[in-house]
Amino acid sequence: MRKKTIRLERLDKRRVWHPFTQMKEWNSSAPLIIERGQGSCLIDAEGRRYLDGTASMWVNVHGHRKNKIDRAIKAQIDRIAHSTLLGLANAPSIELAEMLVKAAPNGLEKVFYSDSGSTAVEIALKIAFQYWEQTNKKNKKQRFIAFQGAYHGDTFGSMSVGEIDIFVEKYRPLLFKAFRAPYPYCYRCPLKKEPADCEMECLKAFEDILKKHGHEIAACVIEPRIQGAAGMITAPAGFLSAIRKLTNKYDVLLIADEVATGFGRTGKMFACEKEGVSPDIMCVAKGLTGGYMPLAATLTTDAVYNAFLGEYVEYKTFFHGHTYTGNPLGCAAAVANLKLLDKLFFRRLEKRIDIFAGLLDGFKGMAHVGDVRQAGMMAGVELVEDKKTKRPYLASLRTGHRVCMEARKHGLIIRPLGDTVVLMPVLSIKAAELKKMAEITGKCIRKVTEG
């Protein structure tokens, strides 16, 4: 066994370029090679078990090796693994589209498939842009408005509406310029207000942009209720629904990027549900297949879809598609996943979220925990050098990273976003496992920041 692992480690370093990874650092340490999974746990090539505190990059819903999803994929394999949606249809993609529309906020009626969160967003941007090109004869609506600190993916369009400097800075010359509104990062308010007296002034800043530029803005892109990659920044209740009202008022489409928040992650099927918001376009990926297969979808309304109808030579067609668009294996996994997202699932999830909240409370008194943020089963624990002044640690200290590396020694896999330690368990995690996750995290935060 050891010999096999050593060979894999060597080959990995020689051949594999890992995402979002400084490979110099990677190549100087032993990679952790995951071989199997079960429930909330990952098992490495040496048989060691770890709690999967990232839900395998925010995707896993019902745990690893969920029997019903395993079986659905196997059954689909026995029929066909892939056929194209370009000029042909397939049964799982049809069934899934119907289920998605039924589960989605009111008004979303049409489903366009792709294979990652980034492509789902890219498609949303293109649909919004083309929609106005084909319906608005008065003026050009060719710009987008997005939020400070947003993350929508790594393709050029999705990077253009994103704003995490270290991810996009090098590509800036290739990106289109988007209007940028403040997102309510209340712990470090971009408008230097305190939550108690701000009356969500960031909304005013948003409206000011729309007042002036609404006529040239095709769509607003938002991570509903919580910005994930920015560091689990939770927006106050009412922010999202106010954005919906303002986008309606200024005739701007609303794109809800539910890539991270969809399929139960915030406690409801979609985060938009929490504020009764129906976007014009919605992007889903990550949890769509329960964390099994790369599949994404962009949903939209009949009003938007109808603007693409016409005679072929009018060229109103949406000329976009990926080779694996609507892949039957992915769709079969997603159908099985959605069948499991029933009332009982959400009732149990609610209880787990309460337990999680209680455990997160326990972090608040720690000497170097500045802020604890939670939206359902997504949480971020922001570490600071000085709690009083909120002074962050020097980036070079890599405090968040060190906490996560320490956690690994105790059998927990978590990842930081800067110095925010992210806790993102699989949604089916057991109470005892949640408790263990919180205990290890607390111990490791103490060791790194106090010890």
Smallest distance, ligand PLP to C-beta of residue 118, A: 3
The stretch near ligand PLP (CB under 6 A) out of 146-154, 203-211, 213-221, 359-367 is 146-154
Quick check: 413 and 54 in contact, CB under 8 A? yes
Contact flag: residue 92 with ligand PLP (CB under 6 A): no
Task: Choose the stretch contacting ligand PLP; rule: CB under 6 A; options: 148-156, 372-380, 388-396, 418-426.
Answer: 148-156
Tell the smallest beta-carbon distance from residue 300 to ligand PLP (Å): 17
Q: Which helix (H) or strand (E) holds 294?
A: none
In the complex with ligand PLP, the residue whose CB is nearer, 261 or 301, is: 261
Strand order across the beta sheet in which 41-44 lies: 34-38, 41-44, 49-52, 412-413
Residue closer to ligand PLP, measured from CB, 52 or 257: 257
- Fill in the per-residue mask, 242 to 261: x = in contact with ligand PLP (CB under 6 A), - = not in contact: ---------------x-xx-
Q: Which is nearer to ligand PLP, 207 or 223 (CB)?
A: 223
Give SS3 for 84.
Answer: coil
Q: Name which of 417 and 437 has its Cβ closer to ligand PLP.
A: 417
Instruction: Tell me the CA distances in angstroms from 436 to 359, 430, 441, one per residue in order.
Output: 10, 10, 8
| 48 contacts: CB under 8 Å, gap ≥ 6 | 411
Strands (E), 21-116: 34-38, 41-44, 49-52, 108-114
CB of 162 to ligand PLP, least distance (A): 8
Q: How far is CA 90 from CA 86, 96, 445, in A?
A: 11, 10, 49
Site string for ligand PLP, 195-214 (x = CB under 6 A): --------------------
- Show the tokens assigned to 334: 């997603």
* Nearest-angstrom CA–CA distance, 264 and 356: 15
- Decide the pairing of beta strands 420-423 and 378-383: antiparallel
**Residue 224 in contact with ligand PLP, rule: CB under 6 A:** no
The DSSP code for 7 is: H
Cα 287 to Cα 207, 322, 358, 449, distances in angstroms: 32, 20, 25, 33
Q: Does 117 bind ligand PLP (CB under 6 A)?
A: yes
Smaller CB separation from ligand PLP, 72 or 297: 297
Question: Site for ligand PLP (CB under 6 A): how many residues?
Answer: 14
Q: Does 293 bind ligand PLP (CB under 6 A)?
A: no
Using Cβ positions, the residue closest to ligand PLP within the complex turns out to be: 117
- Given candidates 164, 229, 412, 448, which one binds ligand PLP under the rule CB under 6 A? 229
Which range in 126-134, 149-157, 305-313, 417-425 contacts ligand PLP by CB under 6 A?
Answer: 149-157
Instruction: Select 45 or 282, whichever has its Cβ closest to ligand PLP.
Output: 282
β strands within 170-286, DSSP E: 179-181, 217-222, 226-227, 233-234, 253-257, 281-284
Q: Indicate which single residue of 223, 273, 371, 419 sits in contact with ligand PLP (rule: CB under 6 A).
A: 223
Cβ 193 to ligand PLP shortest distance, Å: 25
CB of 57 to ligand PLP, least distance (A): 7
Tokens of 59: 């995707």
**Other CB atoms within 10 A of residue 163 CB:** 20
**Closest CB 243 distance from ligand PLP, rounded Å:** 15
Site membership for ligand PLP, residue 116 (CB under 6 A): yes
Q: How far apart are CA 88 and CA 428, in angstroms?
A: 36
Place of tokens 């000085």: 386
If one asks whether residue 281 binds ligand PLP (CB under 6 A), the answer comes out as no
Residue 132 CB, nearest approach to ligand PLP (Å): 22
Nearest to 111 by CA among 341, 419, 335, 351: 335
Chain residues binding ligand PLP by CB under 6 A are: 116-118, 121, 151-153, 223, 228-229, 257, 259-260, 285
